[in-house]
């Protein structure tokens, strides 16, 4: 998953119908920026591991530079 710190929480509205709301951590501007950067870094890391199983195993390969040129 790309958003490990966010989770769906059940909420009740005034009408009594149940719905879900995506809630993340309540952070200040600087903390929110750091959280966003860390989240994107993790997303890119996860994506690169899925693109190249050799690199995911901790080995160097030549496929990612080739993909970047495409």
Which ranges constitute the DSSP H helices of the chain?
A: 29-51, 53-56, 63-69
pTM of the entire predicted model:
0.39
The upper half-sphere exposure of residue 56, i.e. CA atoms within 13 Å in the direction of its Cβ, equals: 10
- How many angstroms separate the CA atoms of 48 and 57, rounded? 11
pLDDT digits (tens, 9 = 90+) for 17-61: 554 555 555 556 777 778 888 899 999 888 877 877 787 788 888
- How many angstroms separate the CA atoms of 33 and 65, rounded? 29
């Amino acid at each position: 998953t790309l958003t490990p710190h966010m989770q769906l929480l059940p909420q009740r509205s005034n009408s009594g119908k149940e719905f879900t709301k995506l809630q993340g951590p309540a952070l200040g501007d600087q903390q929110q920026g750091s959280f966003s950067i860390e989240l994107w870094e993790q997303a890119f890391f996860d994506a690169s591991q899925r693109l190249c199983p050799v690199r995911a195993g901790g080995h160097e390969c030549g496929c990612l530079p080739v993909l970047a040129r495409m």
